[in-house]
Structure 1
Amino acid sequence: MNAPLPASSAPAVDAAELELFRDNVIRFFAGNVEPHYEQWEKGGKFPASLYTDMGANGLLCVDMPEQYGGAGAPFEFSMVVLEEAARMGFLALASNLSVHSDIAAPYILHLGTEFQRQKYLPKMASGECIGAIGMSEPGAGSDLQGIKTSALPDGEGGYVINGSKTFITNGQHAGVVVLATKTDPKTGAKGTTLFTFDTSLPGFKRGRNLDKIGLHSADTSELFFDNVKISADEVLGRVGGGFGHLVDELPRERLALAVTAVGHAQGALEKTIKYTMERKAFGNPIASFQNTRFELAKCKTDVEVHRAFVEKCSAQYALGKLDVPTAAMVKLSTTEMEGRVTDACLQLFGGYGYMTEYPISRYWADARIQRIYGGTSEIMKEVIARSLVGR
């Protein structure tokens, strides 16, 4: 039986406090991330010490209850960390932090027993234990009902896990994986069970750090499970209830992606405005040309319209009222907008936009994955359509 979730003591959002926190986030990223980001991009992952530094500065699991190591702040504070990382051009970091603080940790908080919460959450808040989500497999991406990784009874009260996962963000550093398995392969979605998987268990192996066209410093890995024995104490939620649990947690995951999409598009626009005011053609700043001005106006409008939708959805989530179809709408609309804006911004840089030495090229390349992970745009459309006209 899961322990009851503690009542939140977080106060209502104070705008002044939120902006003060934002300033602290920006200062941390400017001093501790910006000087090293290029090196981390080339190396393919962040140092584990970055997480402990962020934990020490109160930037991980920000809205986690204080009894589990968090700050007990309102949800919006956690979103500011993602928004500013994305805006400043660190989308790989925003992606990793989202998985750690805004997906893996809430799964454990909402579904876990008190044993699981105490075992993992304080160390996740401090950055000592990095969280990951083990869903996708070589043959099962959007169709999670098709996963093959099994967790079968070992005859001694526990389970034996076999299988593999791929495209796992934080895979190289993860200390705990919220792992989706089949405990009853014959019953489809009803046979899906989640586990809190401790990566120190014998039989677990990390595969290669996958090479991607963007988000280079976000370690993305294969994971392998070979007859791994795991205690029944690590079952997360209900045995056979995993698919329903996944659906319940989707709104926060997709809202977090929407927040990063708006922040990322805003950052690309800021850099483009600065460039067009400095860059000259035919003796004049290119910002003086009508086409440039109209493109910037379109981008700004696109960003602000979607920011308003995100703020509405954030308010709904804070009240426990953000449903799956609306979360799909905000994820679909913002990530498609992000693609439009970063592409338009790169175009305004001309040939320099295609050069990797200009940050706009990274904004453009990094943005592409946002329409794929967390549910592709096509899956989002199907989720929305089903809420309107059924299957």
Structure 2
Amino acid sequence: MTRRTYPPQEFSGWLAGLRSWAAKCPDGDGLWRTAADQGLLSLAVPESAGGSGAGYEAACLALEAFAEESGLSGPPFAMAAQMWACQEPLVAFGSEAQHDRHLTPLLTGRAVGAFAATEYDAGSDLLSLRTRADRDSEGRWRLNGAKTFVTNGPTADVLIVIARTAEGSALSGLSAFVVPRGTPGLHIGRDIDKAGLAGAALCSLHLDDCVLDDSDLLGGPGAGFAVLMQAMRHERAFILAPVLGLMARALSQAVEHARSRSQFGRPLAAYDTIRQRLVRMHLSLTSARELLHATARQADAGTLDHGRSSLTKLHVSTEFNRFCQELPDVYGGYALLPETGTTALLTDAVASRYYSGTSDMQMKIIAEGLGV
């Protein structure tokens, strides 16, 4: 499917409108629907699939602006999880009927989407997946198993579930199913308590004889690995786009604090130790932003590969953590006060090393791409 790119003048005007909305957006039940009304969720989806066709770089810029203006970390993360791990596979593998039934409601904010692959004893180890889908005597599929760390799971209306349908390798033994909320046998667990990413809910799922048919398969039998790779290639590349906005906001606030607070009769900004911290924070932000945006342009050109996605995830999460190691010492003891946002950002930075594949897993993928 082809994607177009907004002319710069047209997109900059739209982005300014999004920033204005994000600065005063509601943080509550109405947030998801109003974000969709702004067009945020449909930016990366081709026009032929019901999206605006603006492309990946536009979507990343929008997520960044949303986080920067609102100061929220969890909601843009949750929306990005839907965009990259749920919408992307539906766009690439979904039938026209699945687009009508599932994708369109996701784009318009009438539904929330989630992706369920991780299990208690199987994260990146796909051969250890225990969730199964077996044919019954009537030719229908029966799903049984459990998933965990499902972002958006507590409120999801549409879930893409990866299950084993045959023995053997992950390449041929996995299938992907679109499971609507309310399917008999689908049990959605309570919210998992966590530190960080406030406003992004995750849970476990239990599947107890969920009955589905072939129309619920995404990409056909045996396409589960391809669906998973489609989701991970985009999620790893772009899940941290909102982080750039959070870093930009934190840097601006830290600079203002350094200018306004004085010690020993001089502003903090007059001391080289503080100035150097701010410069290193600026360097981390600039480096992370340049790489992620370049990766988005590769995706828009149709040349994004798994190695580049992992490189982007690894680099942005690393720079996010470096940024947050400098931030507390700009504030000193004030860093412990909630209004600075420092401890919350530190927690988000630690979490960024683990979701969508740990930093060690990203290094393994990159190393394999280098032939080592």
Equivalent residue number for residue 12 of structure 2: 19
| Paired amino acid for 1:257 | I
Equivalent residue number for residue 110 of structure 1: 92
Task: Find the partner of 1:317 among 292, 299, 302.
Answer: 299
Equivalent residue number for residue 246 of structure 1: 228
Deviations 1:288-341 (A, max 9, x none): 110000111111122212222222211111011011111111110111000110
Gaps of 5+ in 2: none
Equivalent residue number for residue 145 of structure 1: 127
Task: Give, in angstroms, the shift of residue 18 of structure 1.
Answer: 2.5
Would you say 1:303 and 2:296 are equivalent positions? no
| Paired amino acid for 1:237 | G
Task: Give, in angstroms, the shift of residue 244 of structure 1.
Answer: 2.9
| Paired amino acid for 2:16 | D
SS at match of 2:154: coil
Task: Find the partner of 1:77 among 42, 46, 58.
Answer: 58
Q: 1:177 to 1:229 in 2, by over 3 A?
A: same
SS at match of 2:124: coil
SS at match of 1:371: coil
Equivalent residue number for residue 271 of structure 1: 253
| Paired amino acid for 2:32 | Y
Equivalent residue number for residue 61 of structure 1: 42
Q: 1:323 to 1:186 in 2, by over 3 A?
A: closer
SS at match of 1:163: strand
1:1-391 matched pairs, under 5 angstroms: 7-8=1-2, 10-33=3-26, 36=27, 46-47=28-29, 49-66=30-47, 68-88=49-69, 89-390=71-372
Kindly indicate whether the alpha-carbon contact (under 8 Å) linking 1:268 and 1:342 is maintained by their aligned counterparts in 2.
no
Report the identity percentage: 27
Task: Give, in angstroms, the shift of residue 17 of structure 1.
Answer: 2.4
TM-score, structure 1 as length reference: 0.90
SS at match of 2:153: coil
Q: Once superposed, what is the RMSD of the aligned Cα atoms?
A: 1.8
| Paired amino acid for 1:72 | G
Aligned pair count reads: 371
Kindly indicate whether the alpha-carbon contact (under 8 Å) linking 1:329 and 1:380 is maintained by their aligned counterparts in 2.
yes
SS at match of 1:26: helix
Gaps of 5+ in 1: 1-6, 37-45
Equivalent residue number for residue 41 of structure 1: none
Task: Give, in angstroms, the shift of residue 186 of structure 1.
Answer: 4.8
Kindly indicate whether the alpha-carbon contact (under 8 Å) linking 1:132 and 1:171 is maintained by their aligned counterparts in 2.
yes
